[in-house]
Each structure stands twice: as C-alpha cells, then as structure tokens.
Amino acid sequence: MQIGPYITSNNLVLAPMAGVTDRPFRQLCKKLGAGLAVSEMVSSNSLLWGSSKTKRRADHNGEIEPRIVQIVGADPALMAAAARYNVDHGAQIIDINMGCPAKKICNVMAGSALLRDVPLVARILEAVVDAVPVPVTLKIRTGWNKAQRNGVAIARLAEQTGIQAIAVHGRTRSCGFLGECDYDTIAAIKANVRIPVIANGDIDSAEKAKFVLEHTKADGLMIGRAAQGRPWIFGMINEFLKSGVTVSEPSLPEQCAILIEHLENLYGFYGEHTGVRIARKHIAWYSKGQRHSAEFRQNVNRAETVDEQLDLIRSFFSEATGHMAQAA
C-alpha cells in the first residue's frame, strides 16, 4: 500500500485510539507486524500544544517511519495550524479525524459530527492539504446515522481535495461500537475512489481480516480494539493473508515476555509514577480470560511501583502456565 512517497511493509494499520496508541504501543505493534500505526489524536487547539500530554503525543523519538499524527478539530484555520505544528515536530503523514464518536468530540462539532456538514468538511480538507508538504489522510465513519450515510460522497470529496488515503469504520456515529459492521458501504467507497481505502471495524482474527479484504476489496485493514492486549494479532493476520497458515496465539510465557517489554518501554516513556498507572489498563487487557484474572487485576491496581507490578505479572503468568500444563 502506498501513501504519498511511503510504501508500507504490509497493509495492516494500528488504529488511533485515545489513551492507548502512545509511542510505546505503536512501536510494539510495528515490531509485531503492523505496517503503519497512527498516533492518538492531537487537538487543533493551540492552547494545549504546550501541555505535557500533547508533547508526549508529539514525541516520535526512535519510532519506525512513517510517523503518522492524527489531528482533530472543527476550524479549518486551526486544523491547518495543527498540521503545520505536527509536521514541524516530526510528523510525516497527517491524518484528519472525522470518525471519533465520543460525545465530548462531537459536542464541539468535531470528529464524526463533521459528517453532517459537507461544506465544512471540504474547507477543512482543503486547508490542511494546502498547509503541509506531507501526505494527508482521513478517517471517517459511514455517516452520522443510517438516514445520513454519506460515506461515499465524503470519500469522493476527499479524493478531489487531495487526500491520499481514507480509512472507514463500518458504522455510523449513532451506532457507536454496537451492532454489525457495515462492510457494504466500505465496498461502495472503494468502488468510487482511486485512493487507497482502509477498512476498519470488528477485525479481530485472521479469518475475519481475509473476509473483510475480499468483501470490500479494500487496500488495507485498520485494527483497533482487537490489538489491545493482543499486539501480536498483526503478525497472525499477516501470515494468514500471505500463506493461508493459521498461526497460534503466543504461549503464555511468550505473552508475558511481550507484556513486560511493553511495560518497560512504557515506564521509560512516562516515568514510574505515571507509567504504573497507565500500565494498569494494558495489564488488564493482556490477562483477560485467564484463570483468576479478576483477582490479579485487583492486585495490580493496588500496586504503586514498577517492581510490584512486574513481580505480580511474572507470578500470575507462571501460575497460569503451570495450570495449563497440568490441564494438558
């Protein structure tokens, strides 16, 4: 898949997720098979650019290229300024968020709320494309609601204004993350534009990935929630798409090693105090479905230091491995 001058190693993309796709997680997913990884969204409000949170989001030190930063907002001039700011700080591709369904985003007419105002969409796309010398991409949903499913029209407009790739979540804003994903609209979008189309929504296995690619004829796949606690899903999908071979989940000791590598990078990025707290949700995702995982998560959430967290993780995965060996 090619976006501007960048040719990806494969057609799998880690979706932008607020509070999740920080630099440590992006690096891990790329290492384990993601061809691209998109940052957490960065506000177009310049008053926030000096905050420690925004500075961390703009930190791409050591990250595998290309570096993609997603920006969110509803004012064309502010969005253009945000694009320039992030390119100046290392972004090599700018992604525009018109897909977020969160109320706090939609209430300020940003994210997927923009899909109700096509003239404003056009002004934002034109402003951002004209503002920066790097490729600009777009993330949308299929529309605001089922009565206003205008994804095809938005995609055509995006192509006309110079957007170089478009990712589509197969639900409307009003659907949130409920109900079945609408892959037919993604297929219609692909049939109506020449730029790369990336299908997103409910891709949680190698078999589902193959089905979505074949059904939509999309150029790539974007995976979000299914990578939480399973960053190896990209490698599993890659192998299945290439060879048709189903790869098993990593063993519990392998999962433990991946988790610890992830957390060590996370602690280094945030520092111990913040890192320990941010780590809790990732540890919960990695341990989900394991024996005694609820009790384990309670203990992890009480841990205050790196050493406490890592000791609990090693003990939990060791016991889980022993239990599986006994069961076998």
Domain ranges of the chain: 2-243, 252-327
- Say yes or no to pLDDT of 327 above 90: no
Domains 2-243 and 252-327 are alike in CATH topology:
no
Between 168 and 105, where is the model more confident?
A: 168
Percent of the chain with pLDDT over 90: 74
In this predicted structure, what is the pLDDT of residue 173?
A: 72
Rounded percentage of the chain residues whose pLDDT exceeds 70: 91
pTM metric for this prediction = 0.92
Query: Mean of the per-residue pLDDT values for the chain?
Result: 91
**pLDDT at site 272:** 96
Q: Which two tokens stand for residue 197?
A: 């189309």
Tens of pLDDT, residue by residue over 10-19, are 999 999 998 9
**Residue 326 pLDDT > 90, yes or no?**
no
Q: What integer is the mean pLDDT of 170-189? A: 85
Instruction: Give Cα 189 to chain centroid, integer Å.
Output: 21
Higher pLDDT, 43 or 252: 252
Assess whether pLDDT exceeds 90 at residue 143: no
- 100 counts as catalytic: yes
* 191 or 146, higher pLDDT: 191
State both tokens at 159: 């192509």
Q: Which of these ranges, 152-166, 242-256, 294-308, 314-328, has the smallest mean pLDDT?
A: 314-328
pLDDT of residue 325: 57
Q: Is there a contact between 292 and 321 (Cβ–Cβ < 8 Å)?
A: no
Options 29, 100, 106, 181, the catalytic residue: 100
Whether pLDDT at 328 is above 60? no
Instruction: Find the radius of gyration of the CA atoms of the chain.
Output: 20
Joined together, the tokens standing for residue 213 give 């690619």
Residue 69 pairs in a beta bridge with 94
- Say whether pLDDT at 50 is over 80: no
pLDDT digits (tens, 9 = 90+) for 284-309: 999 998 888 999 999 999 999 999 99
Look at residue 101 and tell me whether its pLDDT is greater than 70.
Answer: no
Least confident of 161-170, 171-180, 213-222: 171-180
Dmax over CA atoms of the chain, in Å, equals 63
Does 66 sit behind a cis peptide bond, omega within 30 degrees of 0 on the bond before it? Answer: yes
pLDDT recorded at residue 41: 86
Per-residue model confidence (pLDDT) at position 321:
85
Q: Specify which residues 209 forms β-bridges with.
A: none
Q: Give the three-class secondary structure for 103.
A: helix
Q: Please say whether the structural domain 252-327 has been given the CATH code 3.30.200.20.
A: no
Q: Does domain 2-243 have CATH number 3.40.50.300?
A: no
**Residue 273's pLDDT band (cuts 50, 70, 90):** very high
pLDDT at 108 over 60: no
Q: 137 by DSSP, 3-state: which?
A: strand
